Amino acid sequence: MKVTKKIAAIIAVCVLTIGTALIAGCGGSADSDKKVLRVGLECAYAPFNWAQNDDANGAVKIADADQYAMGYDILMAKKIADGMGYKLEIHKMEWDGLIPAVNTGKIDAVIAGMSITEKRKQTVDFSDVYYNASIVALVKKDGKYAEAKSVADLKGAVATSQLNTVWYDLIDQIPNADKQPAIDNVPGMVVALTSGKVDVLVLDKPTAMAAAYANPDLKMLDFKDEGGFKASTEDVEMGIAVKKGNSELLQKINEQLAKINEDDRAKMMEEAIKDQPLAK
């Protein structure tokens, strides 16, 4: 009888031990042991970033929200985090709060289509360029400027762009341009073009690509070299911002960026444009 009780006790201990191990194995995951890369962005700047209601196309859950984030910035953030062996955590916040958030440690990095300017470099450190948003023209496929090969060929065009952007300022590079008042947003700009109120829109390449994808009657004119719009590097080069002095994280990010070639970046942007809300 004592032997039976002893065996029963041993079995009970073994079952408990195995059960505990199984629970630990099932409840935990490799992700729980990973460091976390907390990335901040607006989730309102398609095709770079936007919010959606499901995880379609690999969208990432937004921390403390019922929505998911997707776009070029998310695709880039996923590559960087995976390459570093980190778990990606997305934080949605207002544009003006991004730099303060990274400086106070609420997030680790800003990946949000942020241009690298001297003013911003005074408060944060930037990675190498992760996207070059060159300036292009958008016209109607059947319009008088559809075959233009340079900015000079747009001579005399009725043109506009978005309010408070460098795009609008660059219209002045079109010879004898009939410059119309700036428009508040991209959809409004597209309406002005498709309705014939203007001949040309001046904007950055990803925005033009997104508009042309959603509106097949439009054509993007990507002038090269000397024939293109002249913009400063501050106007077109985008980087990832981290807290000033965080050289360790910056080095890790740059190491991952170096592994992503231009073809891969172009494919990521094409994917983002295809999936962006404007294309639905």
50-64 confidence digits (pLDDT tens): 999 999 999 999 999
pTM of the complete model: 0.77
What fold, for 31-132+237-279? Answer: D-Maltodextrin-Binding Protein; domain 2 (3.40.190)
Longest dimension (CA), the chain: 106
Is 135-230 the same fold as 31-132+237-279?
Answer: yes
- Sorted by where each begins, the domain ranges of the chain are 31-132+237-279, 135-230
Question: pLDDT digits over 178-210, tens only?
Answer: 999 999 888 899 999 999 999 999 999 998 998
Q: Which residues contact 105 (CB under 8 A, 6 or more apart)?
A: 243
Q: Which fold has domain 135-230?
A: D-Maltodextrin-Binding Protein; domain 2 (3.40.190)
**Dihedral angle sign, alpha carbons of residues 233, 128, 247, 95:** positive
20-59: per-residue pLDDT in tens?
444 444 444 555 678 999 999 999 888 999 999 999 999 9
